[in-house]
Chains A and B, each alone.
Chain A
Amino acid sequence: MLDFQNISIQRKGKKVLDDFSLKAPDGVILALLGEDKEGKSTLLKAASGGEKPETGDIYIDGISIYETGENAYCNFGYMSKEYGFYSLLKVEEYYELFLALYKVGGRYRSRRIEEVLELLDMKEYEGAFIGELPAETLPFLYLGKAILQEPEWLLMDEPFDNMSVTARRKMIGILLTLHEKGTSIILNTPMYPEMMGFITDVLVMESGKNLTFGPVEEVYAEALCKSPVRMHILAQMEKALEVLKENPLVDRVTVDGDDVIFRFNGGEKEEAELLTDLVASGALIHNYMRDQADIEEIFRR
């Protein structure tokens, strides 16, 4: 388990992470959601050991990553937004450098490089200069660097940025293979359509704080409940509005042409009762549905 306990990080007097706490269980594929500059990248950097929090601590399986000293970084594979390469190095030389820095023995190094390149489907580029690689292979090359030491946790900062749908699918496939092998993954990424079946948990962040965290279905269900209702009425709009006005669980009612938009703060049963009342009032309701708003947007409201 990766346990963030009350961590705070300041930059230029502004709190980037503000008393942030989270217990991420092993085996998750956790997506960090939220607007820009909400502390997601800083959280990943702190978890990788690259930025020590001013207060609080980060524990991996109950041991502080800062107490374990030099070995802590081996538990994390970090993929930052900006890829770090030397164009004049060959792919194998680049990987060898990091394997040597991770103190992986010489005999095992070439085997590991082959394994990683096979996983990434990049065997053909083993002896190629990085500067001559096609641009679309660079995110995969960089992912390879992050997983060289077989980390328990893979921390990825906007890994799908500027990627084509095909490349994104390929990357997700690789990440799923790693997940099957026991790697837990935390990603700072917007929710792309193809990620819905891939992410297991979601964390929504705002102003360096944990707004909501849980399994993706639960968080989405919660978000859906919080999203506004849009009702299309063909006739008797006044009667429908009267029913809505009388219901204490309804607020923020607005009329948009033949549509009525409102927020309902009750449970499923109360919502069914409201719908029955609306139909009984004689209003001719053609459509009743939740607005498909952005999950991050809903939690910020």
Chain B
Amino acid sequence: MWNPFLKVEWLKEGRNIRLPMMLIFYNAILAFITILFMFFNAESFQEGYSYDTSAYLYQFLIISTIQIGMIFVLMPFSVWGFYSTDREKHMLEEFVMIPGSSKQFIIARVSVIIAVYMMLFISSLPIISLSCIYSGLPWRKIIRLGIMLFICTFWSASVSIFSFSYCKKGIWAFAQNTVIEAVFILGTILGTEIMRTISISVSGMDNLAPITTSLCLLLSLINPLAAYMGYYGNITGDSGLMNLYCGRIGIDSSTQAFSFLFYKAASIMCILMGIAFLALAVWQMEKQARE
């Protein structure tokens, strides 16, 4: 096997009680929300009101948003679990002494984390399919959701692995992880808003200067949720939050450019940033070996 850590990580994760517990709770949360939606819709129908089909559309979106949100919330805890075992058992010291093993170790770790989260997605397919059918959406949306989850998992796992490789104390790593996520998710939105405000106050016009729009677009590109926002807008017909956000930075969200930026280019950017964080994690591990 080209990477011996892959087998070990798989065996460890497969034998850990954490995985079945995650599967149970993850699906329980999704099932609970789905049942809640069905219950309220049935109740409203019994009381003589007509079926609210748009509620079913939002049922799928809410479930997919919860899935995306859970990745960013659960990831630091998952990676913390991995690294606390390594540090407690003094395994990192063993590996850093063997040249070249840092790269293999990081690749194996990110692969297993992605596999675990994809397993969560696959296990939730019956619930998602039900929501998809009720929402009247084509099954391709589920595949696209899977791709979206994969991209977000990769980005989030890379950031967490980097943080836990960088900081020796779990609590500091967790804090660093949260700060990085906040900077990339909320910071970029805040950044675009600041640029927009400055541009408007300087020019004194309502429309943004093209250079400001371009800068806002670039900043939005590095937001790991940009791809999902594009996906969300695509399902809802460019309405809601997505349309509001795009409108504020002077982008016509119905054009091809919108689709390209917030869905495809943002996805590629997300993967590239994930690779960069993983490279930093390898570099950090090797640096610790040299010290």
Min C-beta distance of A41 to chain B, whole Å: 12
Segment touching A, from B90-98, B134-142, B201-209, B212-220: B90-98
Min C-beta distance of B88 to chain A, whole Å: 10
Contacts of A78 in B (CB 8 A): 97
How many A-B pairs fall under 8 Å by CB? 59
Contact of A80 with B by CB under 8 A: yes
Contacts of A165 in B (CB 8 A): none
Min C-beta distance of B257 to chain A, whole Å: 48
Number of interface residues of A (CB under 8 A): 26
Most B-side CB within 10 Å, residue of A78, A84, A87, A93: A84
B8 contacts A97, CB within 8 Å? yes
Give per-residue flags for A89-102: 1 if the beta carbon is below 8 A from chain B beta carbons, else 0. 10001001110111
A97 contacts B97, CB within 8 Å? no
B11 contacts A101, CB within 8 Å? no
A49 to B99, CA, bound (A): 9
Contacting residue for A96 out of B4, B91, B95, CB 8 A: B4
Contact of B126 with A by CB under 8 A: no
Contact of B85 with A by CB under 8 A: yes
Contacts of A198 in B (CB 8 A): none
Min C-beta distance of B14 to chain A, whole Å: 9
Min C-beta distance of A159 to chain B, whole Å: 15
Contact of A15 with B by CB under 8 A: no
A82 to B90, CA, bound (A): 7
A80 contacts B12, CB within 8 Å? no
B90 contacts A83, CB within 8 Å? yes
A87 contacts B8, CB within 8 Å? no
Contact of A128 with B by CB under 8 A: no
Contact of A69 with B by CB under 8 A: yes
A97 contacts B85, CB within 8 Å? no
A89 to B10, CA, bound (A): 10
Question: What residues make up the interface of B, taking CB atoms closer than 8 Å to A?
Answer: 1, 4-5, 7-8, 11-12, 15-16, 85, 89-91, 93-101, 289-291
Question: What residues make up the interface of A, taking CB atoms closer than 8 Å to B?
Answer: 48-52, 69-70, 73, 78, 80, 82-89, 93, 96-98, 100-102, 145
